[in-house]
Amino acid sequence: MRIASAPARRISAAEAASLVKSGFWLDYGGCLAQPDVFDLALAARVNELSNVGIRSSLAARPRAVLECDPEGTHFQWYSWHFTAYERAKSDAGICYHLPPNLGEIDDYYRRFIDPIDIVVIKVRPADADGVFNFGAMNGWLRALVERSKTLIVETSTAVPHVYGVGNTVHISEVDYIIEGDNAPLPELKSPAPTGIDRSIAHMIAAEVEDGACLQIGIGGMPNAVCSLLRDSGARDLGIHTEMMTDGLIELYRAGVVTGARKTLDPGKSVFTFAQGSQSTYDAIDNNPDMLCCGVAYTNLPHNIMQNDKVFSINSTTQMDMQGQAASETDGHRHISGTGGQLQFARGAYASKGGKSFLCMPSLFEKKGMRKSRIVLNLTPGNIVTTPRTDTMYVATEYGIVNLKGKSVADRALAMISIAHPDFREELGRQALENRLIPRAVSLAQEKQSKTFLTV
């Protein structure tokens, strides 16, 4: 536990921003914990400062320090996981990625990152015992508290009170308190599921058994899975996830999620941060069924695997025929981040009866361009998020295949079978020419059925 050098003092946002010096490292925590009035006050000092580094993650709204400094000469923003906003700032050359397995970040701060000059995080106002609740973001905030030279909390009544483990900071640990604007928390709207999303979701939902423990990402397809599970008659589902989403809250409200069959934290829906609509923030507020834990607890595979029937459902953007999944870049352009995808793929596989799914549409289509998302070689520069050895089930709108225990040839044939039909012949030819599929195997396939291969 951190002990402040003096009792916490209440100061204005401008006074807090005046503590920052050129060359300082700051940390905004990430997600819904990012400060707002402090950010504005710091941006007001843009011409007085240089070389100020700021770490954060998943910026939920525009950041004043970036908007006031379009050339990035005064403030440099470093993010553990990009949102669309951070992606745009990365394209502009003023936002930089820190590659993590999300579940390891608090360990990075404790082992590899120097103490932080100033940490500023948004919290709920202190209760009668002097305890500030982190609300919908636990993540690695306790590590930030412990590693901060100066700790500032920005209070907001909009922050929900969320039950959890290590989800608070005591006033004795805090150096300064600033009052926030109490504006509603930023909402993250999920896109409506497409027809392809629903096709994939139907196949995955059919695999989910009573008592399954869910980790589901955000987006149209995961939301479609949740909607189908809500109406499927599945019972006693559990939640042990990285991100609490609107779709998972829908399942909870419908009574489909009880957590009754969980081994780890039975009866509790476990997550490390929530981001979605105000309805989700209302659902987790003062709700004893919810448990917001540190990211090391939620994301490390040896914890994930303790629940039986863990179903990990995540999206990817491109895969090769051997099962490598590139989920976070488009060439050298950074899009999102590794997040918990790899750790949940490993944890779900190790879980008794568990299954890990990587999902994607078979095609990338934009402005009249059509490309297969299943390819011989990943786009040059693409980062492999999930290695071929960790990939279990892969789903497109054309089916689901399991790659575990399969040879390179079997993997290639399986991946081609769920590619878009317009590209199967070309992919088969490429696999044959590059010896992923031996000639004898391709001939045997042709004898068994009408095949995509032209030999």
pLDDT in tens, 40-82: 999 999 999 999 999 999 998 999 999 999 999 999 999 999 9
Span 113-117, mean pLDDT? Answer: 97
Which range has the worst mean pLDDT, 119-133, 193-207, 219-233?
219-233
What tens digit of pLDDT does each residue of 181-212 get? 999 999 998 888 889 999 999 999 999 999 99
**195-448 belongs to CATH 3.40.1080.20:** yes
Question: Rounded to whole angstroms, how far apart are CA atoms 366 and 121?
Answer: 39
Question: In which band, very low, low, confident or very high, does the pLDDT at 446 lie, cut at 50, 70 and 90?
Answer: low
Residue with tokens 């491109």: 318
* Topology agreement, domain 9-179 and domain 195-448: yes
DSSP string, 27-79: E--SGGG--SHHHHHHHTTGGG--SEEEEE----S--HHHHT-TT-SSEEEEE
| Model pTM above 0.75 | yes
Question: In which band, very low, low, confident or very high, does the pLDDT at 444 lie, cut at 50, 70 and 90?
Answer: low
Q: What angle do CA 104, 109, 111 make, to 5 degrees?
A: 90
Query: Tell me, what's the pLDDT at 452?
Result: 46
Span 286-298, mean pLDDT? Answer: 98
Long-range interactions of 1-7: CB distance < 8 A, separation 24+: 1/146, 1/170, 1/173, 2/145, 2/146, 2/148, 2/151, 2/173, 3/172, 3/173, 4/151, 4/172, 4/173, 4/174, 4/175, 5/175, 6/175
CB 106 within 8 A of CB 100: no
Output the CA–CA distances (angstroms, integers) from residue 134 to 25, 125, 341, 378, in the order listed. Answer: 22, 10, 24, 40
- Residue 15, pLDDT > 70, answer yes
Span 145-157, mean pLDDT? Answer: 98
Question: Rounded to whole angstroms, how far apart are CA atoms 424 and 422?
Answer: 6
Q: Which two tokens stand for residue 212?
A: 């399954």
Residue 250 Ramachandran class (φ > 0 left, ψ -120 to 50 alpha, else beta): alpha
Query: In degrees rounded to 5, what are phi and psi of residue 319?
Result: -135, 150
Span 235-241, mean pLDDT? Answer: 96
Question: Rounded to whole angstroms, how far apart are CA atoms 330 and 150?
Answer: 38
Domain boundaries, the chain: 9-179, 195-448
9-179: what fold? Answer: Glutaconate Coenzyme A-transferase (3.40.1080)
Catalytic residues: 242
Question: In which band, very low, low, confident or very high, does the pLDDT at 445 lie, cut at 50, 70 and 90?
Answer: low
Query: Tell me, what's the pLDDT at 451?
Result: 45
